[in-house]
A = this chain, B = another copy of it.
Amino acid sequence: MSNASKPKNAFYAQSGGVTAVINASACGVIQAAKESDQIGTVYAGHNGIIGALTEELIDTSQESKETIAALKHTPSGAFGSCRYKLKSLEENKAEYMRLIEVFKAHDIGYFFYNGGGDSADTCLKVSKLSEQMGYPIQAIHVPKTVDNDLPFTDNSPGFGSVAKYVAISTQEAGLDIASMCKTSTKVFIFEVMGRHAGWIAGSAGIASTNEHTPPHIILMPEIAFEETAFLNKVDQCVKDYGFCVIVASEGTQDKDGKFLADAGAKDAFGHTQLGGVAPTLATLVKDKLGYKYHWAVADYLQRAARHIASKTDVDQAYAVGRAAVEKALEGKNAIMPCIQRTSDTPYTWEIGEAPLAEVANVEQKMPRDFISEDGFHITEKAKTYFSPLIQGEDYPPYINGLPQVAKLKKVFAPKKTATNFDVNK
């Protein structure tokens, strides 16, 4: 093979908060790349884009076929992810130049960046700058975020599995409280993720098949929290159904945009107690209504819960990974493969694409017509949207009662640049 036709290598990195299925996208990228003779080695960034800056490139060809396949049922970011937003070109051009330097040194022609809105922006910048610098790289963004706030795509891979976890947990805990409310807990508050949008909290609403089935109240950042209306609703639920189950977004906020979680409780030493919407609401319910309460905060458990991942979500995460490679091979650049819904019932979807210039830094909130008039629940329209996303189970294999996960060797490619790059802290 002559040097001219030598296939370019690819760089893949995971960015931002990880999910139950981001490794399924990694699996899709790596497997699709392996099937093509136009792509050489896929290098994965150790701890995301930081791995490119520090030239810590995991050589995925050193991993067995079985390990790569096992990524499909391994939660978290198997190669390491990071919260590291590249600054603007003006502020820190050196960072971008360093990226191109490392990519050039490793003969990388394809950049697959697996993340949310911020990383779509980074991806776009890499594409542009590499062109300016005369070493053009095809940069494809692979969508991922539990927040479900990316535009153009029917949903964001990672979200469906959180939605399934949250809906099932709400159903299960709801049955628990229903069975004991006669003499025990009357109000249960379940705090879920969603700082800016109510997609995750809203998805719990699928568990509610009629008004007496939990959740009875859903709090979303899109609707300003009003204490009196909330307490009245809680009280009415307890009177009507014997109990009240509330699912609250961490981003629940009042009309001035003040987060409930920042209510400012102090401990005995005057330190601010580390908040949480759930304990704040529980305090309110106890003080104003006097009902026995319990609360739960799922935090990382919800986005790591691969054991109850949605099969639809796993399939889509894998599909966008593969599609990223296929589109790169078609010569596409600065785009994001996305999921296009072609029918609600039965749910059918196909892969489309969106230009990164229009994806980057756009945040999709819950539409108002997904939220009930009183602001405390979701509409049928929302249920039609959410329901397909949690369909199907895709259980991981188990050994000794615990899920089996991919164990990577993580062999680094030998360094080729002389620079030791200091990553901004």
Contacts and interface: CB of A to CB of B under 8 A. Distances in A.
A310 B179 contact: no
A297 B79 CA distance: 28
Interface string A181-201: 011110010100000000000
A79 B182 CA distance: 12
In this complex, the member of A82, A276, A294 whose beta carbon has the largest number of chain B beta carbons within 10 angstroms is A276
A179 B390 contact: no
A393 B396 CA distance: 11
B206 A402 contact: yes
A300 B299 CA distance: 15
23 contacts: A80-B180, A81-B179, A82-B183, A164-B401, A167-B401, A167-B402, A169-B305, A172-B403, A173-B299, A185-B300, A206-B401, A263-B268, A265-B265, A266-B268, A267-B280, A267-B283, A273-B279, A275-B279, A295-B297, A296-B300, A298-B301, A387-B400, A387-B401
Given A84-B183, A182-B47, A387-B401, A176 B76 contact: yes
Interface string A386-405: 01001111010010111101
A83 interface: yes
Contacts of A108: none
B303 A176 contact: yes
A300 B84 contact: no
Contact of A168 (B185, B206, B403): B403
A18 interface: yes
Nearest to A165: B307
Contacts of A294: 299-300
Interface in A63-86: 74-84
Nearest to A17: B180
Contacts of A206: 401-402
Contacts of A273: 265, 273, 279, 283
Nearest to A209: B402
Contacts of A304: 169, 172-173, 175-176
Contact of A300 (B50, B78, B173, B183): B173
Contact of A274 (B177, B267, B268, B282): B282
Contact of A305 (B172, B266, B275, B282): B172
Interface string A250-266: 00000000000001111
A162 interface: no
A138 interface: no
Contacts of A35: none
B395 A390 contact: no
Contacts of A268: 263-266
A70 to B, nearest CB: 13
Contacts of A390: 401-402
A41 interface: no
Nearest to A392: B401
A76 to B, nearest CB: 4
Contacts of A106: none
Contacts of A400: 387, 391
Interface in A146-170: 164, 167-169
A310 B401 contact: yes
Given A172-B304, A173-B304, A310-B401, 5 more contacts: A18-B180, A76-B175, A168-B402, A296-B301, A307-B308
Please provide the 3 A-B residue pairs with the shortest distance between their CB atoms, ordered closest to farther: A76-B175, A390-B401, A296-B299
B300 A298 contact: no
Contact of A180 (B77, B164, B167, B276): B77
